[in-house]
Structure 1
Amino acid sequence: MKGSTKARAEEVARASYGRLLAILASHDHDIAAAEDALAEAFAKALEHWPLRGIPNNPEGWLITAARRGRIDAARKHARTKPLEQHADYMARSDQHDEIPDERLSLMLVCAHPALSSAIHAPLMLQCVLGLSSERIALAFQTRPSTMAQRLVRAKSKIRDAGITFERPDRDALPDRISTVLEATYAAYSIDWMLFPDGRDLSREALFLADLVAHLSPETPEALGLSALISFLSARQDARLKDGMLVPLDEQNIGLWDHRMIDHANRILANASVARQLGRFQLEASIQAVHAARATTGTTDWEAVAQLYTGLNALFPTLGSRIGQAAAIAQARCAKDGLALLDQLPTRQVANFQPYWATRAQLLRDDAPQQAKPCYDKAIALCTEPPLRRWLEAQAATLKLH
């Protein structure tokens, strides 16, 4: 019983942490205090559930326990707020047949413009998913103590400024949703090859993206991000072989998660209904073309190149311009791809590893002598061991004579 109870408590925590925290913190904007109360409630669940059985509504049980814990804490510490102010707050704890889902409101609070953009993604990972500051610090390449301090300061600012757990006005909502999406993508984009728990973090970010899409289905870009991360996650098991990176066009499609690909295609189709094209929808469309190789056996590189052209016309980045060059090289010839790379600002690409890796690949067949220093530069700039091994293998097979 104890083992199953613990597993059930962990399941509830995984699925409902953000919902419960948002409800608890919405009363007085004190996320830190709500976290403490929720932690105590989970501890009480592990104490009581094995003896009395798992309640029919575990979320309701937890929210009631946490709210009562906060009332007890207020009495014990004689806070300045009159206890009468908690009357409605406590009364609501017994009406818990339907637990409202306030996670989107919590994410909007975490991505509030009054907070530093650098803390948006870490704050969401902790508040919505319950990740520890140590784990978040590892992913963001920051000391645990530093990350913990930043998170504490952000929560204090939310409390002291009285930032409300409400959706902003219609005019302001798109910008706030965009910030949530950017922070979610930033969490996913943390390179899983660098960190022991990187793949777990990718799965958490996928959960966040799906959650935002579920809570905001009227936002095409929310659906686009969910589709994008789903396409990328579907190929997770095919990205490495014997500790070496496997390029996308060489991956074993038998290792792809085809159900997730179907899921991503459906979400992307739903996003397109609104006819409001955005960055994440375009990026998801590129990944959809790559995913189609699972059924066609080939990659439509011309379609990939055209999508990159559209992406760079609307939302240009250095990475997307390099992606366009690589796609055009595949669709047409290496010379055309190199011509695009030559148009990029020298200063911006000087220490940009993807530029040198792509340039090396486009030069390897026709100009191996020129490709060699590009490989050397890409290897020197590379921080991911699996990618470095692949680059070293590519460099070793150059026909220099």
Structure 2
Amino acid sequence: METHQIIEETARNAYGRLLSFLTVNWRDLQAIEDAIGDAFLAALETWPKVGIPDMPEAWLLTTARRRLIDRARRTRISEMALPTLLAMSEDTQRLTSSSYTFPDERLRMMFLCTHPAIDPGMRTPLMLQTVLGIDAARIASAFIIKPSTMSQRLTRLKAKIRAERLTFETPGSEEIPDRLDSVLETIYAAYGSGWEEAAIVDSPRKSLAEEAIYLGRLLLQFVPREPEVYGLLALMLHCEARREARHDDKGNYIPLTEQNCTLWKQGLIMEAEDYLRAASQAGGIGRFQLMAAIQSVHAQRLWTGRIEWEAIAQLYEGLVRINPTLGALVGRAAAVAEVYGSEHGVILLEAIPSADVVAYQPYWALAGHLYKRLERKEEARSAYSRAIGLSTEVSIRQFLSRQASEI
């Protein structure tokens, strides 16, 4: 039982690193995924019999590389690739015969996934799946599309990579700014996935939020003059500071405006504020800075005891102008409702195309809340019902059910 548990933990924690490290040299995503899968199967068969190796990740790397070399031999790979195979074999021996720390190649792999030939809209999904090991269904949820659609898109993309034999080279310094946004989006999406899973017992993605913050810090070292990197870090840290306040002792969900702010971690808030100031000094304004500034206004309640909704509404106006995502549009409606009344918030909500919000849970949760305030009871019940059906977290479903029951 203990062996299987260690294998499962290694699979969750190391998959992205294994894939990233191998892809830098091998570049055939499908072959690498197959080889890593074979390596995990071999571990399930071998480790219970002979014991867990001292360096599980290095063992898996060795096994996966052997599978790749065997596959290359079977397909009669050209002699030009033989030096690479030999170098990889030597590198594997170095990893397994020393105390060498397994390298974290994920950030580099993310930039590799921003290859100009890859559709910009698919770069983040590709990174989430191949670098961070998130399944297609969860990625689809983040992009508000059907899991089957996302799976098909990823499959077609990988087929394109194989068919066109795309070469994944590390981009030059002059290319980094053009590729940065996709990497930022991936880290943010990974954080969001980990944030949502944090309350779910035994979720394999519970540590993903911490992983995203770690990658954000690495990215800051890599591109220290980019204001949006500071903005993203500030955003994640402001959210992370409130993690323990999201649920009460019984596991009930507590919305941000009702949280006990004395439970927020002041150290993380102050660090986030430092990053936000650094972003403002770096020049230029972007969506992650504006999103972090919105969270910063919420954080001020810790000291002032009130929420400055007018400031939040103004920040959302700016965000909608430069990045009119569904999240920004719904957030603006919520802030406007607080400043100018629920009627104004509903007008903004109902202006969003209905086809866009069919599967967007925050829209229906806010709609239920505003309709309830306006005593539009049937519409409120209907909206709450849809929000409950779209909620993946039990505590949020229960919270919304309680709100609906009060109508």
TM-score, length-scaled by structure 1: 0.73
* 2:296 aligned residue (284, 288, 296): 288
Q: Deviations over 1:298-321 (max 9, x none)?
A: 323343233223323433445434
Matches within 5 A, 1:111-190: 111-116=114-119, 119-132=122-135, 142=146, 150-186=153-189, 189=192
Cα displacement (A) at 1:103: 1.4
Letter in 1 for 2:17: R
Conserved 8 A contact 2:187-2:216: no
Partner SS, residue 291 of structure 2: helix
Matched, 1:81 2:78: yes
Partner of 2:384 in structure 1? 379
Q: Deviations over 1:173-221 (max 9, x none)?
A: 333221232244445556949x978975475255235314413542432
Of 283-292 and 181-190, deviating more is 181-190
Partner of 1:90 in structure 2? 89
- Give ranges in structure 2 of 5+ residues lacking alignment: none
* 2:260 aligned residue (222, 243, 252): 252
Number of residues of Structure 1 aligned to a counterpart in Structure 2: 386
Letter in 2 for 1:34: I
Partner of 1:23 in structure 2? 21
Partner of 1:277 in structure 2? 285
Partner SS, residue 170 of structure 2: coil
Q: What is the alpha-carbon distance in structure 2 between the residues aligned to residue 394 and residue 52 of structure 1?
A: 53
Conserved 8 A contact 1:375-1:391: no
* Identity among equivalent pairs (%): 39
Q: What is the alpha-carbon distance in structure 1 between the residues aligned to residue 103 and residue 200 of structure 2?
A: 35
**Residues 227 and 200 of structure 1: CA distance in aligned 2, closer, same or farther (over 3 Å):** farther
Conserved 8 A contact 1:360-1:374: yes
* 2:306 aligned residue (298, 301, 326): 298
Partner SS, residue 66 of structure 2: helix
Conserved 8 A contact 1:357-1:374: no
Matches within 5 A, 1:345-364: 346=351, 348=353, 352=357, 358=366, 361=369
**Residues 163 and 206 of structure 1: CA distance in aligned 2, closer, same or farther (over 3 Å):** farther
Cα displacement (A) at 1:128: 1.8
Of 97-106 and 17-26, deviating more is 97-106
Q: Deviations over 1:333-365 (max 9, x none)?
A: 42xx64475467746369857567656756766
Of 281-290 and 342-351, deviating more is 342-351
**Residues 343 and 240 of structure 1: CA distance in aligned 2, closer, same or farther (over 3 Å):** same
Of 44-53 and 309-318, deviating more is 44-53
- Give ranges in structure 1 of 5+ residues lacking alignment: none
Q: Which has the larger radius of gyration?
A: 1
Conserved 8 A contact 2:367-2:383: no
Partner of 1:33 in structure 2? 31
Q: What is the alpha-carbon distance in structure 2 between the residues aligned to residue 223 and residue 50 of structure 1?
A: 48
